[in-house]
Structure 1
């Protein structure tokens, strides 16, 4: 933990460099500090995983965008005008302050917008960032990654 899962409409692959976005989101997570200036998320535990949806239906399928005639045709697929959508869900363990949780969400939103705003200038794209913290019913970890970063 923390894990950031990015779900997005597959048509965004044509207009967004997803590997670069994943790296930027991970870097944004690693830069988050708490009120004492300590790194919030452990380097070895930070994960960003992105999954395109090859099949999707968003809103009215682009009809309102085409009717608006605003030039945002969304020609990212063979269906001109189809909308795009991206959902970022950060799941973190308990114990961080509300302010730290909001700081993490704001950092992810800023990072995603830095990558998406140019595409959003010409296409209709929805972006949602959600931070979830909850009681774990079961939480077990086994990793050879953490020792790389926990050297004293």
Structure 2
């Protein structure tokens, strides 16, 4: 954790460079600092995944509508100020990368951040975290 998942109408694939968007979103997440200056997200746990919808229906279906939904899921314990700062930073990246397509046609972009307060099970099998922890 954290995981930022993008779901989008497949037509956006031709107009938004999704690989570049994912990298910039991940880099933005890694730049975030809390009130004490500590990194908000661990390098080894930061993931951005993007999925085009094989099938979709947007609004009334009468126009050339597109949609991108971004959901950041993170563990609990961060302040409201951190939530707001992370949201603003990620939202700015999403807005910048979709600005041109939104100017040409109706496209909705939504970012939601969820915090995981009560996990009942969390298993990890990772060789990523040790890679970055040894360099800390």
Using structure 1 for the length normalisation, give the TM-score: 0.85
- State the partner residue of 2:71: 89
How many Å separate the matches in 2 of 1:58 and 1:16? 18
How many Å separate the matches in 2 of 1:16 and 1:139? 34
| Residue 139 of structure 1, CA deviation | 1.1
Query: What are structure 2's unaligned runs of at least 5 residues?
Result: none
- 1:143 pairs, out of 112, 126, 130, with 126
Indicate yes or no: 2:129 matched with 1:127. no
- State the partner residue of 1:11: 11
| Residue 148 of structure 1, CA deviation | 1.3
How many Å separate the matches in 2 of 1:103 and 1:141? 28
| Residue 144 of structure 1, CA deviation | 0.4
Larger radius of gyration: 1
| Residue 103 of structure 1, CA deviation | 1.2
- State the partner residue of 2:58: 58
Using structure 2 for the length normalisation, give the TM-score: 0.94
- State the partner residue of 2:87: 105
- State the partner residue of 1:24: 24
How many Å separate the matches in 1 of 2:59 and 2:41? 35
How many Å separate the matches in 2 of 1:83 and 1:49? 22
Could you report, residue by residue, the CA deviation over 1:14-42 in whole angstroms, capped at 9, with x for unpaired residues? Answer: 10010001001101111111011111000
Which portions of structure 1, spanning 4 or more consecutive aligned residues, are displaced by more than 2 angstroms? none
